[in-house]
Amino acid sequence: MQKNKILEEILNEVDKHPEIMSRREALKYLTVSPLAASVLASASIGAITASASTDVSGKIVIVGGGLSGMSTAARLNNSIKNADITVIEPDPLSVSYQPGQTLVASGIWNLSDIQYKRDDYLPKGIKLIKGSVTSFDPKNNKVTVDGSKDISYDQLVIATGIMLNYKAIKGLDGEITSATTNNADTKKTITKNGLHSIYFQDGAKATWQGIQELVEKAKNHTGSEKLQAIFTHPRGPLKCGGAPKKIMYLTHARLEEAGVRDKVEMTFYPNGGAMFGIKDYHTAIVKQFEERDFKWHYKHNLIAVDTATKTATFNKWKKVEKQFEDEMGDPIMKKVEVSEPVEVKYDFMHVTPPQKAPDVVAQSELGSQGPGWVTVNKKTLQSSFFPNVWSLGDVAGIPMGKTGGSVRKQYKIVVDNIISVMGGKKPTALYDGYTVCPIITSIGTVMLAEFNWASKKPGSGVNATSFPLDPTKERWIWWLLKVYALKPMTIHGMLAGRA
């Protein structure tokens, strides 16, 4: 797609929301901004570094046709002469724009604004199997589809995404993916009676209805006690770790807009002991919470919901030192976790589900213990056990990185390394852990949190920023990036293997 086409796609997005910004205003910014220039350049045809002239051969199978898998397929196809690539993906909406679910949930976008069909973005010449991998056999270089059809490979890419494990919370049902419409069990509880979740498409749409219901309830509320809106962040890694806070900020914005914010108490319940794993971003978010009169309680993990009484039960935990005996009978001190249940009433609750790898991955020789992520070298994204297996995206077992911004870096690493290995060389392209999380803080402002693995080292500060601006500040220009530029760049750039 040519650069002017990407620009037109961005302006088309602007046209959908004239109350926020006019096309003329957006065009004025886009023509002078280094930020916009970099986005447009990255999505242009000239941005691809490898031409379709690499002369290597072999059968490449990609399990998963979402953003990670399809972007990898497209870039491999752009880079290898006569590429033999097969994508295995059952979901017809696998390439839907998941970061937009927050905007659907807050009434900024419609559900149709984020739904894209898998078959429309399959690169020309790539084979598609519309089925599910039901077993992996890496020792024999094959996978089985739908329990019956064996598919062999020379190189395997695992990009299945993750499962939203709602049923891990007592009182809730379902284990689903983000795009799937096969979510009837989950919707028996989530999407109604004040209980919501933006992590799947129908849930995002229902969340906007739930916010509107909360606004109306607040308008009619005359009691002395405030209505209770609570937001959860579970134990374990999850995709888009900023999303539980984003929907809280946006619910706040809608309550303020309606003039009823003072009638609702808003409380955040994260399992961890900080707002963010990077100190500078943690400090900025705490300040934002204080300015908005948000409450929060660290080390609370949601374990049960009683939908009839609208009661959430959290596991409130802490680490304490206890005395044990070693093998010789001598006393030693160890830190252990102790916990107690805490019940909280709610009028509105946003649930972020625990997340894990699909069982077929977790229970294979490629998965890991616990959530089951694919075990890979975190820099090369090559399997730790099978040199012709690779993984990226949400299912890859690396520190942090479960965002589309991470995938934008990862899929290029995977492609370069696959081509190197197919050519008889070692994988030399290295991923540094780069992740970006545009945290929406209001309707009109975003804090662009960029970081990598080095950012977590003591004293390192925020050291992965792409632009010469303080990344801890909420800015209107990042709203322009988030709401108008990232979707065209993703859909028309990454899915074409270019951005």
Out of 67, 437, 485, 489, which one is annotated catalytic?
437
Nearest residue to 77 (alpha-carbon basis) of 433, 411, 321: 411
Q: What share of the chain is helix, strand, coil (3-state, %, to 5)?
A: 35, 25, 40
Out of 104, 215, 240, 415, which one is annotated catalytic?
240
Structure tokens at 437: 């999380």
Angle at 414 between CA 410 and CA 417, to 5 degrees: 135
3-state secondary structure of 252: helix
183 is catalytic: no
Q: Please say whether the dihedral angle defined by the alpha carbons of residues 103, 105, 108 and 111, taken in this order, is positive or negative.
A: positive
Q: Determine the longest span between alpha carbons in the chain, in angstroms.
A: 77
**Dihedral angle computed from the Cα positions of residues 412, 159, 425 and 56, in that order, rounded to the nearest 10 degrees:** -80
Buried b (16+ CB within 10 A) or exposed e, 333-342: eeeeeeeeee
303 is catalytic: no
Amino acid at 359: D
- Beta-sheet pairing, 300-306 with 295-296: unpaired
Instruction: Round to whole Å and give the CA distance between 459 and 294.
Output: 28
Q: Please say whether the dihedral angle defined by the alpha carbons of residues 212, 207, 204 and 182, taken in this order, is positive or negative.
A: negative
Q: Which residues are marked as active site?
A: 240, 437
